[in-house]
Chain A
Amino acid sequence: MKNRNILMNILAVVIACVFLFPLYWIVINSFKLDSEIFAKIPTLWPKEFTLKAYQEQLSGLAVTLKNSIIIAIGSMLISLVLSVPAAYGLARYKVKGSKLFILIFLITQMLPASLVLTPLFLTFSKLNLLNTYLAPILSTATISIPFIILMLRPGFLSLPKELDDAARIDGCNAFTSFLRIALPICKPTVITAACFSFVYAWNDLAYSMTFNTKDTMRPMTAAIYTFMNQYGTKWNSIMAYGVLLILPSCIIFVTMQKHIVAGMTSGSVKG
């Protein structure tokens, strides 16, 4: 039995190594010199650690980083303001059509960006919203809103109704009861939801690339794609950029892994 356990642990570590290798490869190659990247035989460990690849990126980074942050935070705020109350409303109140609403969220969650790119592009162009922050902010929020609603609803459902009744007797109305009682209790999942919506907008390429064609308005995902097309083989620079792009997701994942993993299941499948 003990031998079997050791074997299982070894196998698990092997699986982890295989799955984490691409991540390792991004990070380790960002510290290599050009000469080492262009060598025929790739090295598993840099012969010489250098930050050159990062320094080369710094000049162009300021603008795209700012764009990414503005888009991700803007999208996160809209998502939270709309979807947290919606999830609460769907859990706490019995309203006509709630099944239809959930259906709408389930279906819209499945539909990809490429489906609405053309019509949204035409609409945004009419409204003069192309090459503004609003276009990617508004569109990326549609990715996270259904996800967050499905993810948060079970948590709000599990709150006892008596809690709300008690709050009402103490002088809360429906809205202050939501803000002062339900929200603080569900704080961990709401924070997780915030993280998801930030990351979804941060990771977006399709919307931002289509609506914002000006270099100065593009986020990092679109910039790294353009960079790859121009300097296709400068993999150390591309990977350095990649490290900066995966950094927020990695920090969020490592610090709140349990909540994130739980949120992934409930947000994707159904609450």
Chain B
Amino acid sequence: MPGKGKGMNRVIGYIFIVPAVIYMLVLIGYPIIYNWIISFQDVTTTTLGSAVRDFIGFDNYKAVFSDSTFKKSIINTFIYTVGCLIIQFSIGFLMAIFFSKKFRFSQPIRGFIVISWMLPVTVTALVFKFMFAEGNGIVNAILTNLNIIKEPIGWLLKGNTAMLVLIIANSWVGIPFNMLLITNGLNNISNDIYESASIDGANTIQKFFRITVPLLKTTILSVLVLGFVLTFKVFDLVYVMTGGGPVDATEVLSTYSYKTSFQLFQFGQGAAAANILFVCLFIVALIYLRTISKDEVM
């Protein structure tokens, strides 16, 4: 009842909210803390079942950092993330502007290409693997037909091209998503501003750099940071498409951590590698939260 006092209302509020909070704390919060503990313990298949496990200090971290594959996977994760961000953001931005123009097919097509976001990444990885296959892949067939290449390329058999294909496959999902978020930002800019600028004699390029870009600043920042987080944590795509290979050419932090835990059964080291991933993501997540809280003040 209205009037039953604030105390009652607060309790009801908590009844609505708290179960979800507890659920997330138990299934995500607790594992993250547990992960730090494991990373300082000797956890292998033999010690897995035992109640007491030895604390071994920073040994897991030392082991991980002395592994050349781990170093490679850090570099690869950054190359992959930066590569994806550049492609997704620039093409996504151009497409957002293109589809914000009013013409017949703009709205339906813009809405439809976002479908890639909903598909299982496993299938995305598989179809790109098929398209870039050496023998019967459509990409080699097209490039050969256009006389761009003479011999079919084994895209996924060489490190550099395998990374390129991963970036392309991820961008297939990322470009429409970036476009969608930027479109959202563009829609928030009132048309009046452009109209008054036109009256003042501004041309299209001036309008873009003097109005669109400054007013989109927070959108741009949050799209980039969100994109970073979503790309940096890649697992399914790399795991299914290349498995980190050839050798370790496309190994990323998450696949490295997974393999260390579940193929080599070095759970302690796997946890240590996951924690490095966590630190990277957490820093970026904090930057993201700062950006959007500034946005709120505006």
Contacts and interface: CB of A to CB of B under 8 A. Distances in A.
Interface in A113-143: 113-123, 125, 138-139, 141-142
B119 A29 contact: no
A115 B274 contact: yes
B103 A5 contact: yes
A149 B20 contact: yes
Contact of A38 (B117, B123, B136): B136
B109 A98 contact: no
A19 B176 contact: yes
A120 B27 contact: yes
B138 to A, nearest CB: 5
B278 A115 contact: yes
Interface stretch (B63-71, B206-214, B281-289): B281-289
A27 B275 CA distance: 40
A16 B113 contact: yes
A121 B261 CA distance: 10
B274 A174 contact: no
A104 B25 CA distance: 8
Interface residues of B, number: 95
Interface residues of A, number: 99
Interface stretch (A55-63, A79-87, A183-191): A79-87
B177 to A, nearest CB: 7
Of B21, B128, B181, B288, the most chain A CB neighbours within 10 A belong to: B21
A108 B141 CA distance: 43
Contacts of B240: 205, 225, 228
Interface stretch (B81-89, B196-204, B229-237): B229-237
A12 interface: yes
A180 interface: no
Given A16-B109, A16-B112, A210-B262, A26 B127 contact: yes
A108 B123 contact: no
Q: Sorted from nearest, which 9 A-B pairs have the closest CB atoms? A: A89-B16, A93-B13, A112-B233, A114-B254, A86-B20, A119-B31, A203-B120, A116-B31, A95-B13
Given A29-B130, A115-B277, 9 more contacts: A23-B116, A89-B13, A106-B289, A108-B24, A111-B281, A114-B277, A115-B32, A117-B261, A249-B120
Interface of B: 1-2, 9-10, 12-17, 19-21, 23-25, 27-32, 34-35, 38, 43, 48, 95, 98-99, 101, 103-106, 109, 111-124, 126-128, 130-131, 133, 135-138, 141, 172, 175-177, 180-181, 184, 222, 226, 229, 233, 235-236, 239-240, 253-255, 257-258, 261-262, 267, 270-271, 274, 277-278, 281-282, 285, 288-289, 292
